Chain A
Amino acid sequence: MRYPPSQRIAPSAIKVWKIHGLIYSIILMLITIGLFITAAMLKWNYWFSGISLIFTIVIVLLSIILIPSLRWRRWRYQLYDQEIYIQHGIIIVKRTLVPMVRVQHVDTKQGPILKKFNLANLEITTAATTHEIPALSEAEAEQLRDQISILARVEQDDI
């Protein structure tokens, strides 16, 4: 198998993902609390709320503590003159090759959390697929976007 790509994404991506995990966990916690209250009020069995509590704790542990750093460690990319090489996935590792001639357009995307950390996502679109490199530093994302669009500007045959 080919060597993994060389470039890593910004380390602050871990923080961003932890915040995402936190938001997700808060929603789950609210649901759990809601379940406990309804169970108390309507004299239901506490079974459901118990399961929901365990589920929430597991999700909190996974999404805040474990997954972000693992995910960051796996995420890599590399740009060649004629292709983009991406690796991601925690348990199932996915390695993708996207030839420059197939790239139709490149976008950078930024939500409020990413903006706070001066990060941006890079989205690469071909006729059939979309690939996202998350949480690059703003400057790098823009540079990559311009670079890819120059490299992809080769005469394309029919699709």
Chain B
Amino acid sequence: MTFEPRRLHIAAIIFIFFKTMKETILLLFSLIIIFGREQFFTYLLIATIAIACSIIIYSWLNWLRFTYSLNQNELKIERGIIIRKKRTISKHRIQSIHLSQNIIHRLLGLTELQIETAGSDINVDAKLTAISIEEAHALRNQLKFDQQDQSGTETTNTYDYDYILEQQVPKYEASYKRLFAFGSTSGGFGVIISILLFGISEAELFIPDDIYQSTTAWLLTQALGTLIALSMILFILMWLLGVLGSIIKYGDFTVVRYEKELYITRGLWEKKQLSIPLNRIQAVGIKQNIIRLPFQLATVYLEVAGGEVDQSENMRTIIFPLIKKSEIQAFLTTMLPEYQYTMPDLHPVSRRLFYYQWCQLLVGLSVTLAVTLLFARPFWWINGLLLLMGSIYFYLNYRMAGAHLTKQQLTIQSMLLLSRETVFLKRDRIQALELKQSLLQKRLDIATIRASILNNFIGRHYTVSGIKQSIHSDITEWYSYRGDYSLNQVGIDLNTEKK
């Protein structure tokens, strides 16, 4: 299939319009704030209409001047209203192709198509904002098909998602029950509550005084029971919002392993199809926040190099939103047999870590105690509270940490923002390994290990403290490329290796 330069579907104008609108709305608001007095109102209205009109014209021109064409080996994109930009993407450089559809796309039977190459450019390499689904599928097959042809394999339309689903391939789907539990236990729920509380405290400024006063007066005269019921209703409402948010985002979550790629489909409002080639996976992680920990529930995520940046999930790609801990082993063996599930074999870190950190806490608190006694004597109890919270924090920190080593893989587990994170790291994906030890830590025979990997376009560092000499020297030997490394030096886990 080759075709001459053609334009996007005309609906692309709508998307360009909304995108530009989103970018200029801040400007508009600042204009309103600066000139928002009554005598300027008409001018402001005119300005707003003018801006909206010019954006419409801009979107239309943008659509008019954007063309793409396909020939034997490459996809060509030409764009730019005044300054023309041409981009050529050769087929065998393409790493992955993502489709995503929001609600307007789906009403019109369209889709957005994103192409990623291996280049380390944070902007998506090519994005076709609106093309028909049939065309997207044809294009996707075409771009991937030749690649397969060159390598001589017989599978024809490997990139067709529907085709893959027809095959009996390993597949995991998140049920709504799961997503419900995911939404109820995610931290997002807490965030919404705090935003709401903040909103209420700020609302005083905007609500007219008499209404505010009569409302508070009414609230104060109510019985305690009514107040509790009201706050309960509010709480449940917030919780439902959190659940709804995650169901919309992760609804119909499906993950499929086909040959050397993982395919993920998710989203009710905006339907996304992602494909992740295995060679771009830098690490596999399991995250359990403090609410999910007692229920033995976890989220499985990937650290991927380049491409799809999901800001909301800490730049990670979730490959399963909520899974029981007992199911992770089976999940990994079907989806990513390249990684071993080593969580039950983790070696806990030295208890001396807890004593060490606790002593540091005591030293720090004795300083704050002295300061509070000098300047703010009535608040001395704050130090007691800090001591309690700090002790719990460091105890959790110590209990959650651990490390494990096999011939192929290093496992690091530690607490990060009250979540337990376990990452499986491969030797050739760790960019650098650092061992940190203060003089006192050396006496106590504990050290901190820091492994750096690539996430999207920047480094991410996984650290675990309180590792004993016997284990950390094995880890450094394992990682070292000096050449005189032999298996016998990897002492700690030859036993598990034999099993």
Contact = CB atoms under 8 A, between A and B. Distances in A.
Interface of A: 1-2, 80-83, 89, 91-102, 126-129, 131, 157-159
Contacts of A89: 436
Contacts of B481: 80, 82-83, 97, 99-101
Nearest to A89: B436
Contacts of B442: 93
Q: Which 3 A-B pairs have the closest CB atoms?
A: A128-B459, A82-B481, A128-B431
Given A126-B432, A128-B454, 7 more contacts: A1-B472, A2-B480, A93-B438, A95-B434, A102-B432, A128-B432, A128-B458
Contacts of B480: 2, 83, 97
B444 to A, nearest CB: 13
10 contacts: A82-B483, A92-B436, A92-B441, A93-B439, A94-B434, A96-B433, A97-B479, A100-B481, A128-B454, A158-B305
B473 A2 contact: yes
Given A2-B476, A158-B305, A81 B431 contact: no
Nearest to A156: B428
A158 B438 contact: no
B482 interface: yes
B435 interface: yes
Contacts, number: 95
Interface string B263-278: 0000000000000000
A92 B467 CA distance: 15
Contact of A94 (B431, B435, B458, B469): B435
Nearest to A126: B431
Contacts of A157: 279, 428
A141 B482 CA distance: 22
A13 B297 CA distance: 53
A129 B452 contact: yes
B404 interface: no
B140 interface: no
A5 to B, nearest CB: 12
A102 B452 CA distance: 11
Nearest to A127: B454
A96 B438 contact: no
Nearest to B447: A1
A41 to B, nearest CB: 27
Contact of B483 (A81, A94, A131, A159): A81
B460 A128 contact: yes
A101 B479 CA distance: 13
A98 B430 CA distance: 9
A96 B473 contact: no
Given A1-B473, A81-B483, A158 B279 contact: yes
A96 B454 CA distance: 17
A101 B483 CA distance: 14
Contacts of A2: 473, 476-477, 480
